[in-house]
Amino acid sequence: MFSLKHFHRGWVGALCLFFASLTTALADPGPLAQAPILTSAASAPNILIVVDDSGSMGWRRSGQPKRPMQQAQDAAISLLDSLSNVRVGVASFSRYNFGGELDQPVVDLDTNRALIYKAIRDLAPRGGTPLVGTLQHMGRYLVGLGGTVNPGNSSSSSCTTNGQFRGDLILHPDDAPRAYPLNEVLPSGPNKSWRRSTAPSPICHWCQKNFLILLTDGWGWGNASRPLRDYCPTCYHPLISVAAALNDIDLRPDIDEFDGSESKNNLVTYTIGFHTSQTLLKETAKKGGGLYFEADNEAELKAAFAKIGEDILAHTSGSASAATFSTSLLQSGTDLYLTTFNTEHWTGDVIAGRLDAKGRPGPARWSAAHQLDHASDPETRTMLTWNSEDTPPVSTCPGSSKASTASKARPGGVPFRWDYLSTLQQRDLLGQASASGNLVYERKWGRAGSGNGQFGLPFDVATDSKGNVYVVDYDNHLVQKFDRDGSFLTQWGGLGSGSQHLDHPVGIATDKDDNIYVVQHGSHSIKKFSPTGDLLASFGGYGLEPSQMYYPFDVAVDADGNLYVVEIQNHRIKVFDAAGRYLREWGGKGSSAGRFWTPNRIAIDFGANVYVSDYVNHRIQKFDTEGNFLAQWGSYGTADGQFRYPYGVATDGSGNVFVVEYFNRVQQFDAAGNFIEKWGSVGSGDGQFRYPRGIAVFDGGVCEGSSFFVADAYNHRIQKFSSPGSSHISTAIGKARLGYLRGERSNEKGGWGFRERESLLGDIIHSSAVFIGKPSLKWPAGGAFPSGTQAYSRFARDHHGRRGVVAVGANDGMLHLFAADTGKELLAYLPGNLFSTAKSQGYHYLTDPDYSHRYYVDGTPAVSDVFIPSRFSSAPNWRSVLVGIQGSGGRGLFALDVTDPEKFKESNATHIALWEFSSSDDPHLGYTLARPTIALLPNGRWAAIVGNGYEHTATGTPTSGQAELFVIFLDGGLDRKWTEGRDYLRIPTGAGSVGRRNGLSTPAVIDTDGDRVADRVYAGDIQGNLWAFDLSSKLTGDWKVAHGGPLFSGSARQPIMAKP
747 pLDDT more than 80 = yes
- What is the rounded distance in angstroms from the CA atom of residue 228 to the CA atom of residue 602? 49
Query: Please, what's the b/e burial string for 192-224 (b: 16 or more CB within 10 A of its CB; e: otherwise)?
Result: beeeebebbbbbbbbbbbbbbbbbbbbebebeb
357 pLDDT more than 80 = no
303 pLDDT more than 90 = no
Beta strands in 27-99 (DSSP E): 38-41, 46-51, 83-84, 87-93
Residue 581 neighbours by CB distance under 10 Å: 12
Q: What is the largest CA-CA distance in the chain?
A: 104
- What is the rounded distance in angstroms from the CA atom of residue 601 to the CA atom of residue 603? 7
8 Å CB contact between 992 and 962: yes
Question: What pLDDT score does 382 carry?
Answer: 97
Is residue 869 situated within a structural domain?
no
Mean pLDDT of the 352-372 span: 82
Is residue 800 situated within a structural domain?
no
Q: Which domain holds residue 1053?
A: 939-1060
Beta strands in 206-331 (DSSP E): 210-216, 268-274, 289-295, 324-325
8 Å CB contact between 915 and 895: yes
310 pLDDT more than 80 = no
Give residues with Cβ within 8 angstroms of 355, minimum separation 6: 330, 331, 332, 333, 334, 336, 361, 362
Question: What pLDDT score does 267 carry?
Answer: 95
- What is the rounded distance in angstroms from the CA atom of residue 351 to the CA atom of residue 1005? 31
Averaged confidence pLDDT in the chain = 87
User: Which of 148 and 699 is assigned the larger pLDDT?
Assistant: 148
pLDDT confidence tier of residue 1053, bands split at 50, 70 and 90: low
- Residue that finishes a domain, picked among 723, 753, 786: 723
Is residue 383 situated within a structural domain?
no
- What is the rounded distance in angstroms from the CA atom of residue 46 to the CA atom of residue 190? 17
- What is the rounded distance in angstroms from the CA atom of residue 318 to the CA atom of residue 41? 5
**156 and 302 part of one domain:** yes
Is residue 26 situated within a structural domain?
no
Mean pLDDT of the 729-736 span: 80
Question: What pLDDT score does 881 carry?
Answer: 97
- Residue that finishes a domain, picked among 694, 723, 752: 723
Is residue 169 situated within a structural domain?
yes
Residue 559 neighbours by CB distance under 10 Å: 11
- What is the rounded distance in angstroms from the CA atom of residue 1036 to the CA atom of residue 1041? 12
8 Å CB contact between 868 and 942: yes
Query: If you count them, how many residues does the chain have?
Result: 1060
Residue 613: phi and psi, rounded to 5, are: -85, 110
Model confidence pLDDT, tens digit, residues 906-925: 999 999 999 999 999 999 99
Number of domains into which the chain is organized: 3
Helix (H) or strand (E) holding 265: none
- What is the rounded distance in angstroms from the CA atom of residue 800 to the CA atom of residue 794? 10
Least confident window among 97-106, 143-152, 478-487, 934-943? 97-106
Is residue 777 situated within a structural domain?
no
Beta-bridge partners for 445:
718
Beta strands in 195-334 (DSSP E): 195-196, 210-216, 268-274, 289-295, 324-325
1 pLDDT more than 50 = no
User: Which of 64 and 22 is assigned the larger pLDDT?
Assistant: 64
8 Å CB contact between 781 and 787: yes
- What is the rounded distance in angstroms from the CA atom of residue 809 to the CA atom of residue 250? 32
User: Strands 657-661 and 665-669: what pairing?
Assistant: antiparallel
Q: How far is CA 1038 from CA 65, 993, 1013, 1042, in A?
A: 55, 24, 16, 11
8 Å CB contact between 792 and 782: no
- What is the rounded distance in angstroms from the CA atom of residue 642 to the CA atom of residue 571? 21
Is residue 1013 situated within a structural domain?
yes
User: Which of 322 and 780 is assigned the larger pLDDT?
Assistant: 780
Is residue 815 situated within a structural domain?
no
pLDDT confidence tier of residue 51, bands split at 50, 70 and 90: very high
- What is the rounded distance in angstroms from the CA atom of residue 776 to the CA atom of residue 766? 26
Q: Model-level pTM?
A: 0.64
Mean pLDDT of the 60-78 span: 85
Alpha-carbon 308 to chain mean position: 12
Model confidence pLDDT, tens digit, residues 395-441: 434 444 344 455 687 889 999 999 999 988 988 898 764 333 467 88
Question: What pLDDT score does 4 carry?
Answer: 43
Residue 714: phi and psi, rounded to 5, are: -90, 0
By CB atoms closer than 10 A (0-12, 13-18, 19+), residue 374 is: exposed
pLDDT confidence tier of residue 724, bands split at 50, 70 and 90: low
Model confidence pLDDT, tens digit, residues 543-596: 999 999 999 999 999 999 999 999 999 999 999 999 999 999 999 999 999 999
602 pLDDT more than 70 = yes
Half-sphere exposure of 418 (CA within 13 A, CB side): 16
Give residues with Cβ within 8 angstroms of 725, minimum separation 6: 394, 397, 437, 702, 703, 704, 705
8 Å CB contact between 985 and 941: no
Question: Apex CA 338: angle with CA 15 and CA 830, to 5°?
Answer: 135
- What is the rounded distance in angstroms from the CA atom of residue 824 to the CA atom of residue 1021? 40
User: Which of 775 and 97 is assigned the larger pLDDT?
Assistant: 775
CATH of the domain at 247: 3.40.50.410
- What is the rounded distance in angstroms from the CA atom of residue 355 to the CA atom of residue 363? 9
By CB atoms closer than 10 A (0-12, 13-18, 19+), residue 915 is: buried
pLDDT confidence tier of residue 359, bands split at 50, 70 and 90: low
- What is the rounded distance in angstroms from the CA atom of residue 574 to the CA atom of residue 526? 13
Alpha-carbon 751 to chain mean position: 22
List the 100-108 sheet strands across, edge first: 195-196, 191-192, 100-108, 87-93, 46-51, 210-216, 268-274, 289-295
Query: Please, what's the b/e burial string for 338-348 (b: 16 or more CB within 10 A of its CB; e: otherwise)?
Result: bbbbebeebbb
Question: What pLDDT score does 548 carry?
Answer: 93
- Let me know how many helices (H) and strands (E) the chain has, helices first: 14, 60
Alpha-carbon 176 to chain mean position: 33
8 Å CB contact between 855 and 34: yes
Residue type at position 213: I
Give residues with Cβ within 8 angstroms of 643, minimum separation 6: 618, 619, 620, 634, 635, 636, 637, 659, 661, 667
**What is 974-998 written as a DSSP string?**
TTS---BTTTEEEEEEEEE-SSS--
Half-sphere exposure of 530 (CA within 13 A, CB side): 4
Query: Of the candidates 633, 639, 685, 692, which has an alpha carbon nearest to the alpha carbon of residue 662?
Result: 692
Query: Of the candidates 1039, 989, 1037, which has an alpha carbon nearest to the alpha carbon of residue 1014?
Result: 1039
CATH of the domain at 636: 2.120.10.30
- What is the rounded distance in angstroms from the CA atom of residue 365 to the CA atom of residue 274? 51
User: Which of 788 and 14 is assigned the larger pLDDT?
Assistant: 788
